[in-house]
Amino acid sequence: MLNYHSGCEAAAFGAWEAGVKMLYSYPGSPVTEIVEVMQRLPQVKSCWATNEKVAMEMAAGSCHSGARTLVVMKHVGLNVAADPFFNLAYTGVVGGLVVVVGDDPGARNSQNEQDTRLLCLAAGVPVLEPATVQEVQALTRLAFELSEQFDLPVVLRLTSRLCYSKDKLERQDRQPQDHIGSFASPIQKYLLLPAFVPGCHERRNHNLQALAQSQIADKLCVRTLPDKLQSRYPLGIISSGFPSGVVQELLGQDLPLLQLQLVYPLPQQQIRAFAALCERILVAEESSGYLDQQVRSLGIATLDKPDYDGVGEFSLQTLRSEQAPELDSFIRATMPATIDIRWLDNLPPRLPGFCGGCPHTGIFQILRQRELYVVGDIGCSTLGSLEPFSALHTNLCMGASLGMLQGYLDGLGVQAATECVAVLGDSTFFHSGMTGMMALARQECHGTVIILDNSGSAMTGMQYTSLSLTADKWLALLQSLGVVHCQVLPSLEPAAIERWLDTELARPALSVLVLKGSCVQELNIKDETPFRYTILESVCTSCGDCVKETNCQNFEVTALDQDQAHIAISSSCIGCGLCSQLCPEQAIVPLSVSMLVPATGPLAKPLARVAGKLPWARMIRILNQQPVLAPWLKKLEHRLRALLDRRQQKAAAAAKVDAVQFYPAE
């Protein structure tokens, strides 16, 4: 039965059908879904590794034992895994080893647009590049066979467009694998000592050459000729990957095309044979000029493309060449008609931002108010750079914030320690920040580091790639790395954070603060929910500070006139209580508490003032930490909300309007 599936699902199905036994990965868009799909498939053991290097090293042991193994990571993750990746080409494999790498042309979810093909060229690792979802499935299966036949790891290069595309797929049966595990030998092959390295290098080169000259390589060249056959064509196109599908669909009836599914090593004979059929050759690719350079290295002249610089995703406009003016007519003829979308101009933009109720927004509001220069990292913390916080000023790569902090203080002097902090998440810290922390302690850095702990890799889907530590274990870990001045605080206590910063920014030593707060995506908001909050209109001045300081998506703002707005909190509030602590008028209280405060009358404002002054967020957190009191507190909250709901129904009925059910009946 044919069903629609994405490119990520196709890769997962292809690996499963090939009989893969082990799967290792560190999450990263656009290929995270591959792992999530395979975790639902039987007969495959999967593991979220601490980082990509560890994932590659786990895969090395697995494939050397004879098991077919899959490694999944994004393109910048391959940089982290480069050390074992390069050396695996020397040792070779026993069971097939396939590395699925997700490139990101256009950098929609990444910090660069690097081309994995260039890294594989340097490492001497074969690269397969599918153009369609069906090819993803087929080439993933084939990659394991190539890996075992030619004793090399094989990279399957996917790009964002292909990962998220959908097409019909036909599932196939799983290939049985007679896996009898054993330790790899001889040492001349698997032990990379200087005496053995030249032989390993020579064997790798021989295997690459054998692959390039094999019949399989010839079959991985898909040649398409126009219906009107000619002895020699005026123009031909060589392509690979996602651009091949676009070119094939739009130009395949008019021009001869050669799609290369094996882009390293290149099948030279097939390329030369195709070039002999064409007077001029144009290369279609994205991310870099890798393929164009490789074709030219064979002595084949290719046309210059002045509009192509490797930036962004592929489009037909990048194929324009002054030496192929006839191509312009083909491109114009295949461009879709212009659609009038002026109505979109009236829609407000949906900017990226923290999730509503995220416990880690408060720290960025504090850092902005203090006008500190924030060296950031990779992950959700990068959202602190956006309005209204604007409290993250630079980042580089996973774990780089710690080394960059030391570099800034070395360059500007220790007096800059009072003006600069480093911020990173717990997943990033375990990924590649621990070595940086040890270096800061060893160098006796005077800087300040803030670790945002939500117990997972939240931005990629809350994968558990690292340890979930209690406060005591955090302190023990940091002290073992050489950090003397460290503390763990709840992320939703801005007053305590302010006091800590007052002390530690002035301290001439390394200080580390861990802010613990659970990711809101992990909360079961459909179950018995925590105390949700509301605004007491009798004391609210509509100043908007609650919205500006938290940027919480659960605020609903309705303009009443040019100078005033009505602010309310939606029913999707998860009860973090940050807004109640930041409100200058103390007008935000738990929803159930609001029923004790009259909306009108002489006592409305005085009672609202009294209710607003109580530290509700802190009180609720403390009570919820008591095993005996927490269940009773939830029951009381649930009953108060049910009572409030009934009052609202009566009021709505009296006003002859439909009642709005904010909470389910008990």
Q: All domains of the chain, ordered by start, with CATH?
A: 2-212 (3.40.50.970), 222-334 (3.40.50), 362-522 (3.40.50.970), 533-654 (no CATH)
Q: DSSP of 303-325, one letter per residue?
A: ---TT--S-SS--GGGG--TT-T
Whether residue 579 is annotated as binding a ligand: the answer is: yes
Q: Is 597 exposed, middle or buried (0-12, 13-18, 19+ CB in 10 A)?
A: buried
Cβ count near 181 (within 10 Å): 12
Q: Give the amino acid at 530.
A: P
**pLDDT, position 335:** 61
Residue 454 has pLDDT above 50, yes or no: yes
**pLDDT, position 291:** 95
Q: What radius of gyration do the chain's Cα atoms show?
A: 30
Is 50:433 a contact under the CB 8 Å cutoff?
no
What gap in Å lies between CA 31 and CA 21, rounded to an integer? 19
Is 263:244 a contact under the CB 8 Å cutoff?
no
Q: Provide the token pair at 642.
A: 């049910």
Whether residue 63 is annotated as binding a ligand: the answer is: no
Q: Give the amino acid at 418.
A: T
Whether residue 200 is annotated as binding a ligand: the answer is: no
Whether residue 163 is annotated as binding a ligand: the answer is: no
Cα of 307 vs its chain's centroid, Å: 30
**Which of 519-523, 640-644, 661-665 holds the top average pLDDT?**
519-523
Place of tokens 């603060």: 513
| pLDDT tens string 81-106 | 999 999 999 999 999 999 999 999 98
- Please give the average per-residue pLDDT across 19-44, as a whole number: 94
**pLDDT, position 502:** 94
The answer to whether the bond into 186 is cis (omega within 30° of 0) is: yes
**pLDDT, position 339:** 56
- Please give the average per-residue pLDDT across 23-46, as a whole number: 94
Q: Provide the token pair at 589.
A: 């209280």
Is 184:61 a contact under the CB 8 Å cutoff?
no
**pLDDT, position 659:** 38
Whether residue 583 is annotated as binding a ligand: the answer is: yes
Cα of 32 vs its chain's centroid, Å: 8
| pLDDT tens string 500-521 | 999 999 999 999 999 998 888 7
What gap in Å lies between CA 261 and CA 242, rounded to an integer? 11
Residue 445 has pLDDT above 60, yes or no: yes
Q: Helix, strand, or coil here: 5?
A: strand
| pLDDT tens string 324-381 | 777 777 676 666 555 566 656 666 666 778 887 888 888 998 999 999 999 998 888 8
Confidence of residue 12 (pLDDT cuts 50, 70, 90): very high
**pLDDT, position 660:** 42
Pairing of strands 97-103, 154-159: parallel
What gap in Å lies between CA 293 and CA 275, rounded to an integer? 15
Residue 526 has pLDDT above 60, yes or no: no
Spatial CA neighbour of 27 closest among 73, 84, 75: 73
Q: DSSP of 69-129, one letter per residue?
A: EEEEEEHHHHHHTHHHHHHHHHH--SS-EEEEEEE-TT-SSSS----HHHHHHHHT--EE-
Spatial CA neighbour of 380 closest among 370, 368, 389, 369: 389
Residue 486 has pLDDT above 90, yes or no: yes
Residue 147 has pLDDT above 90, yes or no: yes
Q: Helix, strand, or coil here: 227?
A: coil
- Please give the average per-residue pLDDT across 60-80, as a whole number: 94
| pLDDT tens string 529-570 | 567 888 888 888 888 888 888 888 888 887 655 566 778 888
Distances, alpha carbon 646 to alpha carbons 641, 659, 666, in Å = 9, 9, 11
| pLDDT tens string 239-295 | 999 999 888 888 877 889 999 999 999 999 999 999 999 999 999 999 899 999 999
Instruction: List beta partners, residue 167.
Output: 5
Whether residue 120 is annotated as binding a ligand: the answer is: no
**pLDDT, position 666:** 41
Whether residue 540 is annotated as binding a ligand: the answer is: yes
Q: Which of 41-45, 75-79, 288-292, 518-522 has the lowest mean pLDDT?
A: 518-522
Residue 462 has pLDDT above 90, yes or no: no
Mean pLDDT rounded to a whole number for the chain: 86
Whether residue 573 is annotated as binding a ligand: the answer is: yes
